[in-house]
Structure 1
Amino acid sequence: MAGNNQGPLVVSLPLGAPQPGESLQRWLYTALREAILSSRLPSGSQLPSTRALAEHYGMARGTAQAAYQQLQSEGYLDTSNGYGTRVCAVLPDTTLNAGYVRRRVMPVAEQQRDAPDTPWAQRLQAEKPIFMGSATQPGLRPFFPHRGDVLAFPIDLWRKLHTAHLRSSRLLDMLDADPAGLPALRSAIAQYLGIARGVRVGAERIVILGSVQQALDLTLRLLVAPGETVWMEDPGYPGARQLMKASGVAMVDVPVDREGLQVEEGIRLAPAACMAYVTPSHQAPLGGELSPARRLGLLRWAGEQGSYIFEDDYDSEYRFVAKPIPALRSMAGADASVILAGTFSKLLFPSLRLAYVVLPPQLVEGFTRLVSLTARHANSLSQAVLADFIEQGHFDRHLRRMRKLYAARAETFAEAAERNWQGLIEVPPIRAGLDVVCRLHGMDELDAQARLAEAGIDVMPLQRYCVKPQAPGLVMGFAPYEETAIEQAAKDAARLLRRT
């Protein structure tokens, strides 16, 4: 039966080698038939001409023609549609063919094998990444946290800058780049950090990566041997916690309060830890800042112990009540011990996958070698576009615009909560960020999450961020949702949570 399905054009068709004593015609017929029945050649696929196939396999053209003709006569190939030789849309004897496929001897490479059982694999099996799977793709369903509004991004401007780097005169820019990143982007970031975060650093101390998660991964590889101790905030960012578990380090959970990481408690629990992971400018997920006294105490501890501090500059750009506070890395005495990491994926759009790390001088060479060995370099075309975006002032304008937009949505969220959630959910003052920890009254977190999901509302239970139990709470985002959506979702949430 002739098919109208327009499948792919098959340019290269590796078919293996004939068995000893097997004729080329029989081999070609059998190999093509098996490729069709196994859907390796899907319906509508256009096969190479008999001349091209014969030249490729070093056989007479008549041999290829005979194999094609046999397959055509049996209903596997079609030449009647005027578009060359194609695989038929409907194959003959589908029941028999299915049995034929089942009876095939499975190649060694396709045979079932057990999952790997290395230490890394075992730890990964025990820790499903928190943002892996369908739960990471809720679209624009309120109130999923840790998301910005990609619809507000100036995509036409970005496209214009991107197109400028695809001119034929700039094709050499598309070759491999420096593992540390494009000099133009590193210089632009250095200038930005000096103005916005109070960090005075040369471009040579900055390395461009794909994410803060990658920065933490490489830092752990470079500085912490399996079994050595690292401080982790509790509650804290689950992606960092899961990466530490998978890396095999000995994690010490240091409690967090309204002044941030309890440094003295960390010293009591593990005074000789190799490293501390902190989110000092906007604690993840509670949202506070590390107090000045604790900042000094943390730096003093790192200096005395020869330890390192990994500063995740989490959501620091989005403060609504005051200017962004300086980074921990900007303080006196931080140069030798603080590793500052930040991302552009939240500030611009998630699929950009560009971040940076500011390194102490003694770590630059080793870190750059590690990047080169594990990832070569981050996408250099995107780096070039981002450098232009920053240098031409678009980045700063975009941040100011989004800060104002998110502040308005935070206010809308708080007002909607006040109107609808009395006695159900308590929303604290929102000072910064893309989301907020809301306290539940008289309700289990997982039960509340399940009820809200019925109404198309996505939240994250606070227990996903904690080791030591906390008062029941939900991490709820507001940044990507328009005011009407926030108000409607708040009403729906109240209806579901009040249901007995």
Structure 2
Amino acid sequence: MTEAPTTRSSRRALALGAPAPGETLQRWLYRSLRQAILDGRLGEGALLPGTRALAQQYAMARGTVQLAYDQLLSEGYLQALRGSGTRVSRVLPDASLQAGPAPVRVLEEPSRFQPGGPWLRNVGDQPPAFPLRPGSGLPPAFHPHRCDVRGFPIDLWRRLHGRHLRASKLAILSENEAAGLAPLRAAIARHLDLARGVAVSPDQIVILGSVQQALDICLRLLVAPGEAVWMEDPGYPGARQAMHAHGARVVDVALDEDGMRVHEALAAAPDARLAYVTPARQAPLGMALSPERRLALLHWARERGAIVFEDDYDSEYRFAAKPVPALRSMEGAESHVVLAGTFSKLLFPAIRLAFVALPWQLVDPFTRAASLAARNANALSQAVLADFIDDGHFDRHVRRMRRVYAGRAAAFEAAAHAHWQGLIAVPPVTAGLDVVTRLLAHEERDAWQRLTAAGLTAFPLERYCAQARLAPSLVMGFAAFDEAQIDAGAKAVAAALRGRH
């Protein structure tokens, strides 16, 4: 009996091309074999080379070939029969993959469906508060609000992940508490006590994906459409847009060197249901809310039965002095302040874990609302973060990065002095990941367009403003860039603004 042509041809050396730059061998082999099957170069029933032979042909580990074969087997492209080797399946998992592109249908008349709910009516014409397609890789100079992911101990994080991915600990892959894993909530409560002077029970803490989510839930629970909320101006764009999306009446409150002008907020809307503040380091201007205004804010909340939403987004990174105490640590704040914090700026953005410390009366409704909206945050990441905190790695990382960022703040000031004379004035940088710089020779939009054209990034201050009209300024980040990048970036900024890019 003669052998089928597909069997003979498949015994010959497979020509699969070369991996794409940065592509792993396993991914390349899987992709190339799958494409050869879909193209018909490996026809149905074709016998594939053994794993040892293919590994020798392409100088790779036999285990790599086996993993690629296993994936194709699990997806139905291959079948392994005892005594017959590994062959291309007679019936592929998705016949439509071989059918080519679907024909374009031309509708006889436009669809009558148009999205038009209250959310779109309130914010649909506003630019997104966050980039919908952020660029891959490290951010360009001088992107604000970014930590340096290169400083994160990723090997340690991987080992901690491995600790929880054992057969004896697979319960972590099941459903977990809506409020978050108890070990992480306990670790956060201890950290808040030591680092922020906040005494709170772990049962008052809820774990979420972001501070943005926490604010959205508070608005849903506490503010009816049309009711007033106080918002710093300038202030965090994501917070203002969440308020508008909810249909709240946003009362923009001006700032001075002592932070939010609480007396003006009281005069404009004493019946507000919620106030959003960044009291430790105002976003984006950087001042701390003065003790007198903290007391005035708390007095208003107690008298009116209102809630203060305290966004404590990067208070750990203060270079010249100890962190400013949390508003939530003050006497009388426990029933009227929601303290929110995030690990995305302290560790790395993709961790997507944040928390709130709630007044007791909000714990149950907030937890139920969070569960209804998003069930619960990623439990595996929570378990790893709890270990990271309890084993002391979190404190060590924050202390180390505080020193690193302090050095970069100094380098940023020095680079500005060396390269931006007559262009940009930089104030002393004493905290945070970014700073508001003042433009001396350009309007904000002109400067932003010049920097963008040169492949650089900074945010115009007007992006944070509603009613406020301030001197032309840019919000510029320094923390994500080492000293050499800061100096090179400063030269590039100068060239762009002077028209030499």
TM-score between both structures, scaled by the size of structure 2: 0.80
Paired with 1:115 and 1:401, the residues of 2 have a C-alpha distance of: 52
Paired with 1:459 and 1:174, the residues of 2 have a C-alpha distance of: 40
Question: Which residue of structure 1 lines up, in the alignment, with residue 196 of structure 2?
Answer: 197
Q: Structure 1 residues 113, 298: closer, same or farther in 2, change over 3 A?
A: same
Q: Structure 1 residues 428, 136: closer, same or farther in 2, change over 3 A?
A: farther
Question: Which residue of structure 2 lines up, in the alignment, with residue 489 of structure 1?
Answer: 489
- Aligned residues of 1:7 and 1:43 also touching (Cα < 8 A): no
Q: Structure 1 residues 104, 360: closer, same or farther in 2, change over 3 A?
A: closer
> How far has the Cα of 1:314 moved from its partner?
2.1
Pair 1:177 & 2:176 matched:
yes
- Aligned residues of 2:212 and 2:239 also touching (Cα < 8 A): yes
> How far has the Cα of 1:140 moved from its partner?
2.8
Q: Structure 1 residues 46, 113: closer, same or farther in 2, change over 3 A?
A: farther
Corresponding letter in the other structure for 2:367: T
Paired with 2:347 and 2:229, the residues of 1 have a C-alpha distance of: 31
The superposition leaves residues 130-174 of structure 1 with CA deviations (integer Å, 9 ceiling, x where unpaired) of 222346657331000000000110000000000110000011222
Paired with 1:45 and 1:257, the residues of 2 have a C-alpha distance of: 71
- Aligned residues of 1:7 and 1:45 also touching (Cα < 8 A): no
Question: Which residue of structure 2 lines up, in the alignment, with residue 475 of structure 1?
Answer: 475
- Aligned residues of 1:138 and 1:144 also touching (Cα < 8 A): no
> How far has the Cα of 1:443 moved from its partner?
1.0
Q: How does 1:173-322 map to 2 (within 5 A)?
A: 173-322=172-321
Question: Which range moved further: 468-477 or 124-133?
Answer: 124-133
Pair 1:127 & 2:126 matched:
yes
Q: Structure 1 residues 137, 230: closer, same or farther in 2, change over 3 A?
A: farther
- Aligned residues of 2:44 and 2:88 also touching (Cα < 8 A): no
SS at match of 1:276: strand
Paired with 1:331 and 1:396, the residues of 2 have a C-alpha distance of: 24
Paired with 2:225 and 2:406, the residues of 1 have a C-alpha distance of: 42
> How far has the Cα of 1:376 moved from its partner?
1.0
> How far has the Cα of 1:268 moved from its partner?
0.8
Number of matched pairs = 429
SS at match of 2:335: coil
The superposition leaves residues 436-486 of structure 1 with CA deviations (integer Å, 9 ceiling, x where unpaired) of 000001311111011112322110000000012211000000001011111
Question: Which residue of structure 1 lines up, in the alignment, with residue 22 of structure 2?
Answer: none
Paired with 1:436 and 1:236, the residues of 2 have a C-alpha distance of: 14
Paired with 2:150 and 2:353, the residues of 1 have a C-alpha distance of: 19
Corresponding letter in the other structure for 1:313: D
Paired with 1:496 and 1:128, the residues of 2 have a C-alpha distance of: 25
Question: Which range moved further: 447-456 or 336-345?
Answer: 447-456
- Aligned residues of 2:301 and 2:336 also touching (Cα < 8 A): yes
- Aligned residues of 1:345 and 1:353 also touching (Cα < 8 A): yes
- Aligned residues of 1:148 and 1:480 also touching (Cα < 8 A): yes
SS at match of 2:103: helix
> How far has the Cα of 1:315 moved from its partner?
1.2
Paired with 2:30 and 2:227, the residues of 1 have a C-alpha distance of: 55
Question: Which residue of structure 1 lines up, in the alignment, with residue 117 of structure 2?
Answer: 118
SS at match of 1:397: helix
Paired with 2:208 and 2:243, the residues of 1 have a C-alpha distance of: 19
Q: Structure 1 residues 47, 147: closer, same or farther in 2, change over 3 A?
A: farther
Question: Which residue of structure 2 lines up, in the alignment, with residue 403 of structure 1?
Answer: 402
> How far has the Cα of 1:115 moved from its partner?
3.3
Corresponding letter in the other structure for 2:362: L
Question: Which residue of structure 2 lines up, in the alignment, with residue 439 of structure 1?
Answer: 438
- Aligned residues of 2:229 and 2:249 also touching (Cα < 8 A): yes
SS at match of 1:287: coil
Question: Which residue of structure 2 lines up, in the alignment, with residue 148 of structure 1?
Answer: 147
- Aligned residues of 2:301 and 2:308 also touching (Cα < 8 A): yes
Question: Which residue of structure 1 lines up, in the alignment, with residue 344 of structure 2?
Answer: 345
Pair 1:83 & 2:88 matched:
yes
Paired with 2:117 and 2:139, the residues of 1 have a C-alpha distance of: 38
- Aligned residues of 2:461 and 2:473 also touching (Cα < 8 A): yes
> How far has the Cα of 1:393 moved from its partner?
0.2
- Aligned residues of 1:46 and 1:84 also touching (Cα < 8 A): no
- Quote the sequence identity (%): 55
Q: Structure 1 residues 43, 264: closer, same or farther in 2, change over 3 A?
A: farther
SS at match of 1:126: coil
> How far has the Cα of 1:45 moved from its partner?
11
Question: Which residue of structure 1 lines up, in the alignment, with residue 61 of structure 2?
Answer: none
SS at match of 1:252: strand
Corresponding letter in the other structure for 2:103: R
Corresponding letter in the other structure for 2:253: V
SS at match of 2:300: helix
- Aligned residues of 1:8 and 1:44 also touching (Cα < 8 A): no
Q: Which runs of 5+ in 1 are unaligned?
A: 10-40, 50-80
The superposition leaves residues 248-267 of structure 1 with CA deviations (integer Å, 9 ceiling, x where unpaired) of 11100000111111100110
Question: Which residue of structure 1 lines up, in the alignment, with residue 80 of structure 2?
Answer: none
The superposition leaves residues 60-106 of structure 1 with CA deviations (integer Å, 9 ceiling, x where unpaired) of xxxxxxxxxxxxxxxxxxxxx9634488xxx9xx9xx87xx437799
Q: Structure 1 residues 166, 448: closer, same or farther in 2, change over 3 A?
A: same
SS at match of 2:88: coil
Paired with 2:135 and 2:236, the residues of 1 have a C-alpha distance of: 15
Paired with 2:42 and 2:475, the residues of 1 have a C-alpha distance of: 52
Paired with 2:280 and 2:43, the residues of 1 have a C-alpha distance of: 60
- Aligned residues of 1:7 and 1:44 also touching (Cα < 8 A): no
> How far has the Cα of 1:124 moved from its partner?
3.6
- Aligned residues of 1:7 and 1:46 also touching (Cα < 8 A): no
Q: Which runs of 5+ in 2 are unaligned?
A: 1-5, 17-28, 46-85
Paired with 1:345 and 1:247, the residues of 2 have a C-alpha distance of: 25
SS at match of 2:122: helix
> How far has the Cα of 1:123 moved from its partner?
2.4
Paired with 2:90 and 2:435, the residues of 1 have a C-alpha distance of: 60
- Aligned residues of 1:231 and 1:251 also touching (Cα < 8 A): yes
Q: Structure 1 residues 44, 234: closer, same or farther in 2, change over 3 A?
A: farther
Q: Structure 1 residues 498, 266: closer, same or farther in 2, change over 3 A?
A: same
